[in-house]
Amino acid sequence: MVEIDVIVEADGWENLPDAERIAERAGLAAIRAQAPAKALGVAILLTDDAAMRRLNAQFRGKDKPTNVLSFPAPRLPAGKGSAESLFLGDVALGYETCTVEALADGKELGDHLSHLVVHGILHLMGFDHETEAEAEAMEARERAILATLGIADPYAGAEGGATG
């Protein structure tokens, strides 16, 4: 069983009907694509740029808002914790930055939200984009997962990754 908890903290997300459902659906798709037989959990925080700026400054030393941040849960030593499920961590998304990016790229906000949720969860599952090879592998997984949701390639026409 996959458990996705979506917390809406910022009022701006009310402008996207079904934001919680969209985030949950994208999260489920990402987890099922990577670990279909595992019981995993993740928390998704839909917040605003002020909160994202604080989180980005605190955890990455960057005093500016960003679109998505991933916070992997600490891994327990073997034999500790529940064998029933594994909590992967948290993904936070900033409404204003996500909205500006979607508008600038001519994308539906729901599709962009889905992309960033998938991106964030892939980070929790060990993917990264520090090197060109890592970025290509991660973007390929994102494309494949988003295709299962009927969402077009988010990188089509882009010069490299849209997230950071």
Is residue 158 one of the residues assigned to a domain? Answer: no
| Alpha-carbon torsion (53, 163, 145, 83), positive or negative | negative
Is residue 48 one of the residues assigned to a domain? Answer: yes
**Closest alpha carbon to 32 in 77, 69, 2:** 2
Domain count, the chain: 1
Residue 161 in this model has a pLDDT that exceeds 60 = no
pLDDT at 38: 80
Is residue 155 one of the residues assigned to a domain? Answer: no
Is residue 79 one of the residues assigned to a domain? Answer: yes
pTM of this prediction?
A: 0.90
Question: What number of other Cβ atoms are within 10 A of residue 4's Cβ?
Answer: 21
Q: What is the CATH number of the domain that holds 35?
A: 3.40.390.30
- Residue percentage of the chain with pLDDT more than 70: 90
Is residue 99 one of the residues assigned to a domain? Answer: yes
Q: Are 124 and 70 in contact (CB under 8 A)?
A: yes
pLDDT at 11: 94
The mean pLDDT value of the chain amounts to 91
When pLDDT is averaged across residues 20-30 and rounded to a whole number, the result is: 97
| Alpha-carbon torsion (111, 116, 117, 122), positive or negative | positive
Which range of residues forms the domain containing residue 18?
3-148
